[in-house]
Structure 1
Amino acid sequence: MANNRDVENGENCSREEIRAPLLPIAENGDNKESPLEKSFKDDKCMVYLSTFVAVCGSYAFGSCAGFSSPTQAAIRRDVNLSLAEYSLFGSILTFGAMIGAITSGKIADYIGRKGAMIVSSGFCTAGWLSIYFAQGPLLLDIGRLATGYGMGVFSYVVPVFIAELAPKDLRGALTTINQLMIVTGVSVSFIIGTLLTWRTLALIGIVPCGVLLLGLCIIPESPRWLAKQGKQKEFDASLRRLRGKGADISEEAAEIQDYIETLERLPKAKLLDLFQRRYLRSVTIGVGLMVCQQFGGINGICFYTSSIFESSGFPADVGTIIYAILQVSGAGLVLGCLLTGSSFYLKNNTLDQEHGLALDAAPALAVTGILVYIGAFSAGMGAVPWVVMSEIFPINIKGAAGSLATLVNWFGAWAVSYTFNFLMSWSSYGTFVLYATVNALAIVFVIKVVPETKGRTLEQIQTAVNAS
């Protein structure tokens, strides 16, 4: 993509009208900026605003995920739920998310990225209200299922929307904010959930949805989706709003349009089409990263943090609060699993007083390992699969492929959270060694299979993937 240059045209200029005023500037015969070019600056304010609005959906996602952990005792007491009924309430979230994942791509393709976020916000809001007014398990489960559906849609559409509107030099950083806001939402729910009633916490969950809905009235739709729909006037207006009035959008617009026209000549993709040779590498990358993310143990560790700390001999309340704070920092999945596994190995294999020092070290190793793990996940594997997924799929299969990848992600979330306690019963330290092995293989997968996307447009990424 060429460097940004500035023009005096209005917002609704055609591609030819945009190019025309640049001809006299090009005839200057040198590479220096003209006074006209210097008079404008690259305006990324709308990109930042659009990203902020979109990641309100990510924060809502985190609020949904973090709700059940600090509220378990109070909900069971107030609504008179058995442990089995509360387990259903907690786990039904992932089933709602799976349904959301299946439908998210189609919704985003048919009614737009903004439309999909509106639908998701509506489900989350309805779900929170159902939980707030619940007097028994039925409304609680319906509400949890609805918020799970909203999570499933958000998990796909937010990173895709940001990737499609961001300039290539900002795309990776802006898409990473998606994961940052998810873990921020989880952390805030963990912390304020210890201070407020669970019904009040449910009402607070509506706030990011409201901010998102208001913000969607201001920001533009994804220019790439508009181009795919053949809405030329809206496409030009959206891209110009995102790049600033003074920016030359002609080359970027032409590149997007040419790529869309090429894709429009291809047949509409169905689920089975994803396994065609020409799409196989991008699908392998997208789905493979989701497998690496989930089967590295994140949801087993996240859902059962308190019990891990208790089992190792570390105070659960203190550990959970530190966990919530450190979710937004970064550093070492494999190391975190090995440290935690070492803690349980020392605890299980040190049976006499001679090795009292090892027993004393076990709780510290456990809490260090968990915090290193969650920090590393938040900064790395938590964000990377969603960033790459938003970039790697050609736009004609983005709906179907995105739904498949998100479905795999949520299935992995359910599988890991369901099997965690069984694995811990089998071998506490073996569980974390297993997760460490998966994360080590994930590193190899990223090095060998995942391409570098930094500094490339989405169209250039597709070309690179197809060429390899």
Structure 2
Amino acid sequence: MPDQIEAKKFPQYLAAICICIGAMGTGTVIAWTSNISDKLENGDLNGVKLNLSLAGSMMCLGAMFICIPIGLMADKIGRKYTVLSTIIPFTLGWLLITCTQHEAMLLAGRFFTGMGGGAFVIVGPLYTSEIAQNEIRGTLGTFTQLFITLGILYSNLFGWITPITVFCILCAAVPIIFALLFMFQPESPPYLIKKNKKDKAIAAFARLRGKDYDPASEITEAEMHAAKEEQLKGQFKEQLKSKPGWKSSLICFMLMFYQQLSGINAVMFYSGAIFKEAASSVKPELCVCIVGVVQVFATMFSSWSVENLGRKILLMISAGVMAFSTLMMGVYFLLKEQKMVSQDTVESMGWLPLLALILFIIAFSLGMGPIPWLSSSEIFPPAIMARMSSYAGMFNWFLAFLVTIGYEPLSKALGAFTTFFIFTIVSTSAVFFVLFVMPETKGKSFQEIQEELAK
């Protein structure tokens, strides 16, 4: 019987996997610079030289720009067609990058690919959370982060072993493959009910749950949510001021703050440069690929554990280990930059940056990577979910922009060890925030989560 039940959930897993192939596109955009930093600075891409800080920050600006429009589109034309529309900025962006003849073209390409990636991390988890049954919602919710890590590994590997133009073409292929696969998946049933398309919602449930499944209870719950959302329409400010409204907003925005100020995008954008600066005894390009492999496996474990161990414990373990990892990196760079030990000693410690960043990536992938995005799609009250999820996403990418553009000049001005110590303080404080403020949402319905927040 359990095997039969799991088999009936297969269409939900398939739909989540199809949409998350698009999330691979986000991963390729994030990690595009990680293993080609020297090539970009040397002008190997059509003779155009590019500053790494600008490359990273333009991507974040594009992602930040799309957050609010994509939320409006998701409510207007549906979750399915909104995510399919992201192929437009993805394709345009990679075309500009691949054919670039000027730095402005390259930066515009980064902006457009950032738009595609930023849209995905908003609507992808929203679609997945709406098609999933409660008991697997957390697992499917982590699929977005899992496929982002696969995209990062994809970039790490092909950025190393292929010519830069071929690499860009391979990145452009990912969103096209996604669109071809995902166009055959159903629309989100709760969205269809919200739009008074009950017959189509029943058909979508049959696709996602099996023909023998009775969706009556889920339809009733979705209708209640839709009716309540309609009733509260125009009361955004009032609902935001309610206890569930402001608590869910505080939790989501703080999780986004902790995710980005932990230093993850500095690690992703500058991983090759960090290993090179650390004078690691392992080849920097190989270090980047090793980190990518580790990230994939750690996120796979997170997909299993999020419904077994719960969100809170994973977040606390994640933040704690990340703090320890950046502390190790900070100590290493302090010894190296301040010449507190001999050069021979520094060289003998070349393994430390690799170990520290592997631990950091494992910890991030377990909790701080997937759970903030999952939380934004499951704890906001229905009346404010669409807008606040978009605002939270915009806030996340704004912080990513600050970290990306600020890491290099801050490291040069104050030393790399200072930036890593800042990351350590942020991650340490995250442990206490999650412990005392965040509720556990494992296995709970949307209604149960709202009742928990109202206490």
TM-score by length of 1: 0.85
Match of 2:432 in 1: 444
- Tell whether the 8 Å contact from 2:160 to 2:285 is kept in structure 1 after alignment: no
1:317 is matched with which residue: 262, 269, 285?
285
Relative to 1, partners in 2 of residues 1:275 and 1:300: Cα closer, same or farther, differing over 3 Å?
farther
Deviation at 1:438, TM superposition (A): 0.6
1:95 is matched with which residue: 39, 61, 68?
61
Match of 1:412 in 2: 399
Write the distance in 1 (CA, Å) between the matches of 2:376 and 2:198: 26
Stretch moving more, 155-164 or 199-208: 199-208
- 1:369 equivalenced with 2:356 (yes/no): yes
- Tell whether the 8 Å contact from 1:340 to 1:368 is kept in structure 2 after alignment: no
Write the distance in 1 (CA, Å) between the matches of 2:344 and 2:124: 50
Structure 2 counterpart of 1:409, one-letter code: N
Write the distance in 2 (CA, Å) between the matches of 1:366 and 1:211: 36
Q: Percent identity?
A: 30
- Tell whether the 8 Å contact from 1:100 to 1:151 is kept in structure 2 after alignment: no
Match of 1:191 in 2: 157
- Tell whether the 8 Å contact from 1:124 to 1:147 is kept in structure 2 after alignment: yes
Write the distance in 1 (CA, Å) between the matches of 2:247 and 2:4: 45
- 1:80 equivalenced with 2:47 (yes/no): yes
- Tell whether the 8 Å contact from 2:30 to 2:269 is kept in structure 1 after alignment: no
Write the distance in 1 (CA, Å) between the matches of 2:390 and 2:205: 26
Stretch moving more, 155-164 or 276-285: 276-285
1:457 is matched with which residue: 424, 427, 445?
445
1:402 is matched with which residue: 389, 392, 406?
389
Deviation at 1:212, TM superposition (A): 2.3
Deviation at 1:185, TM superposition (A): 0.3
Aligned CA-pair RMSD? 2.5
For 1:134-157, what per-residue CA distance to the aligned partner results, in whole angstroms no more than 9, with x for missing partners? 222333222221111111110100
For 1:119-166, what per-residue CA distance to the aligned partner results, in whole angstroms no more than 9, with x for missing partners? 112211222122222222333222221111111110100011101111
Write the distance in 1 (CA, Å) between the matches of 2:235 and 2:96: 37
Write the distance in 1 (CA, Å) between the matches of 2:350 and 2:229: 56
- Tell whether the 8 Å contact from 2:322 to 2:363 is kept in structure 1 after alignment: yes
Write the distance in 1 (CA, Å) between the matches of 2:241 and 2:73: 22
Match of 2:303 in 1: none
Write the distance in 2 (CA, Å) between the matches of 1:168 and 1:151: 27
Deviation at 1:89, TM superposition (A): 3.8
- Tell whether the 8 Å contact from 1:343 to 1:363 is kept in structure 2 after alignment: no
- Tell whether the 8 Å contact from 1:71 to 1:198 is kept in structure 2 after alignment: yes
Write the distance in 2 (CA, Å) between the matches of 1:352 and 1:334: 24
Structure 2 counterpart of 1:322, one-letter code: I
- 1:279 equivalenced with 2:245 (yes/no): yes
Match of 2:259 in 1: 293
Structure 2 counterpart of 1:77, one-letter code: D
- Tell whether the 8 Å contact from 2:48 to 2:101 is kept in structure 1 after alignment: no
For 1:53-103, what per-residue CA distance to the aligned partner results, in whole angstroms no more than 9, with x for missing partners? 11011111111222233334445234333454x643442111111111122
Q: How does 1:147-296 map to 2 (within 5 A)?
A: 147-268=113-234, 274-275=240-241, 277-296=243-262
Deviation at 1:250, TM superposition (A): 1.5
SS at match of 2:377: helix
Match of 1:27 in 2: none
Deviation at 1:238, TM superposition (A): 1.4
Structure 2 counterpart of 1:405, one-letter code: A
- 1:327 equivalenced with 2:295 (yes/no): yes
Match of 2:33 in 1: 68
Relative to 1, partners in 2 of residues 1:264 and 1:463: Cα closer, same or farther, differing over 3 Å?
farther
Deviation at 1:229, TM superposition (A): 1.5
Stretch moving more, 220-229 or 246-255: 246-255
For 1:389-416, what per-residue CA distance to the aligned partner results, in whole angstroms no more than 9, with x for missing partners? 1111123222210111000100110111
Match of 1:342 in 2: 331
Match of 1:5 in 2: none
Deviation at 1:277, TM superposition (A): 4.8
SS at match of 1:440: helix
SS at match of 2:86: helix
SS at match of 1:79: coil
Write the distance in 2 (CA, Å) between the matches of 1:236 and 1:118: 22
For 1:245-302, what per-residue CA distance to the aligned partner results, in whole angstroms no more than 9, with x for missing partners? 1122212221221222122211236589645555111111111110110011111222
Structure 1 counterpart of 2:48, one-letter code: L
TM-score by length of 2: 0.87
Structure 1 counterpart of 2:145, one-letter code: Q
Relative to 1, partners in 2 of residues 1:173 and 1:61: Cα closer, same or farther, differing over 3 Å?
same
For 1:301-351, what per-residue CA distance to the aligned partner results, in whole angstroms no more than 9, with x for missing partners? 222222322332214233223222222244721121111112123334554
- 1:111 equivalenced with 2:77 (yes/no): yes
Write the distance in 1 (CA, Å) between the matches of 2:248 and 2:415: 36
- Tell whether the 8 Å contact from 2:278 to 2:333 is kept in structure 1 after alignment: yes
Structure 2 counterpart of 1:321, one-letter code: C
Write the distance in 1 (CA, Å) between the matches of 2:116 and 2:404: 20
Match of 2:312 in 1: none
- Tell whether the 8 Å contact from 1:42 to 1:246 is kept in structure 2 after alignment: no
Relative to 1, partners in 2 of residues 1:147 and 1:356: Cα closer, same or farther, differing over 3 Å?
closer
- Tell whether the 8 Å contact from 1:319 to 1:367 is kept in structure 2 after alignment: yes
Deviation at 1:188, TM superposition (A): 1.1
Structure 2 counterpart of 1:447, one-letter code: L
- 1:383 equivalenced with 2:370 (yes/no): yes
SS at match of 1:170: helix
Write the distance in 2 (CA, Å) between the matches of 1:214 and 1:271: 40
Q: Can you give the 5+ residue segments of structure 2 that lack an aligned partner in the other structure?
A: 299-317
Structure 2 counterpart of 1:388, one-letter code: S
Write the distance in 1 (CA, Å) between the matches of 2:355 and 2:333: 13
Write the distance in 2 (CA, Å) between the matches of 1:40 and 1:308: 47
- Tell whether the 8 Å contact from 2:18 to 2:181 is kept in structure 1 after alignment: yes
Match of 1:20 in 2: none
Structure 1 counterpart of 2:432, one-letter code: V
Write the distance in 2 (CA, Å) between the matches of 1:318 and 1:374: 15
